[in-house]
Every structure is written in C-alpha cells, then in structure tokens.
Amino acid sequence: MTQFDPTRFAGRRALVTGASRGIGAGIAQRLAAEGADVAIVARTVSHHPTLPGSLRATAELLAAHGGRVATIVADLSDPEDRARIVPEAVDGLGGSIDILVNNAAAAIYQPLAEYPLRRLRLTYAVNVEAPFEMMQAVLPGMLAAGEGWIVNLSSATARLRPGPPFTQGAGPRMAVYGSSKAALNRLTNAMGDELWGSGVRVNTVEPRGGVMTEGASALLGSLPDDQIESLDEMVEAAVALSDCPPDRTGQVVVSLDLLAELGR
C-alpha cells in the first residue's frame, strides 16, 4: 500500500539531482505531489540526444502541483557547477534545503583491464564527490533547523561478488560503478554516525532488482522479470527515507525490504 498524503511535505524544500527522467524525476514528482517545494538538477534543460525526458518536462509536471519549482542546469562532474547548485536551490525555493536526494549517477560499463582512467575519474566525480559536496553544502541549514533528510541512491553492484570460482557475467564490467557506490555507502554510514543526535538523517537506498528506466534500458537491455522491480517501488522507498524518524540514519537499505518492513 502506497502512503500518499498531499500535505506530507508541506513547508519543506527538497533538492533532487538527476531529475530529468527515471528515478530522479519520479522522486521529484512525488515530493511535489505531497506538498514540497522542489529544486531539480540535470545537465541540460531540454532534450537528451538519445533518451526521452528533460528537466523542462519534469519541471512542468512539478508545477502542476502548485508549489515552488527551481530548475538548475549543472554538470555534476564540474566542481564549479557543483558549488553553485545548493545556493541556487536556496535562492529559487526561498530558504534552506530540508530534503536532499542524491540520485544523479554516471555508469560506464566495460572490462577493467581496458578501463580508461579518465572514465574512472568521471564516475567518481559524479557518484562520490558530487553527493559528498551536496551533503556538506546542505548541512548548515539542516543543523540550524534541527532536522533534515539526506537520501543517497546506491546499487547492489556495490557488494563484493562471491568466489572463486567466479561465474561468468557482467559483474566485472560494472566494478568501477559498483566501487563508487560502495564508497557512497560508506560515506552515508559515517555521516549518519557523525550527525547522530542532531536530527539530520542520512541514508542510502538501493533497488533489489533492476529498475528499467530509460537510462538503465539503454545500458543493460532487457532483464528477466524476476530480476526487475518497478520505478514506483523504488520511488516509494526513497520517499519513505525522505520522511523517516531520527533513529533511522546511517543505514544502507534495500528498497523492497524497506517497503515490506513499513507495510507499503
């Protein structure tokens, strides 16, 4: 059962990265539908050369719910762009950020023996450095308010693969992406530990199965039905962590496990 309340996030300001399509767009729409003012971030405001969805299209959907919407065009691999995101979100929404959702990610899959260092640096810039800087940037406002919610999006590829013997598959090709998400998980746990008692909750959520967004479908093709979960399930789990109690912090949770625990 989905928990939906049109006033649940009333008076709160949220910032969602990677919100032009997929999970990020879904989370932003859900937060706006439940009363939040929302700032959304993506690299371009209009169309992507190969994928449907855009920052402008997401903003139009959010605006229909009546709250404030701020659109921020920024490349999360660029330190100068990253530095202006939170200040622009604060200006656009009229106050400090209550909810930060670090959803944007870079995923480049190929064998490690041939993996270019520049691609590794790009992956870590977007998947580790950017969310870390976003967390640091929103913390002063959250600490002053005595509460806040930070939700980082992770992946099951962060886990070590069992072996030897090792089974054939795409695991090694996803290792750079997975290692960046493992680093994000560790930072989430440490930030939750460091901020324990402050009222700021910091958590990570990862899907149990593949969420076949436009980007995932382009990267992975198709998956068997028993390895897929819906976009709505992943959004529901992320939104649950955007309104969780103070004693749920520093955790790395699996989407469907969390929903089962909460009875949703």
For residue 226, give the amino acid letter.
Answer: D
177 is catalytic: yes
Q: Looking at 109, 115, 124, 177, which residue is catalytic?
A: 177
- Token couple for 201: 């909750």
For residues 259 and 234, what is the distance between their CA atoms, to the nearest angstrom? Answer: 9
Catalytic residue ranges: 177
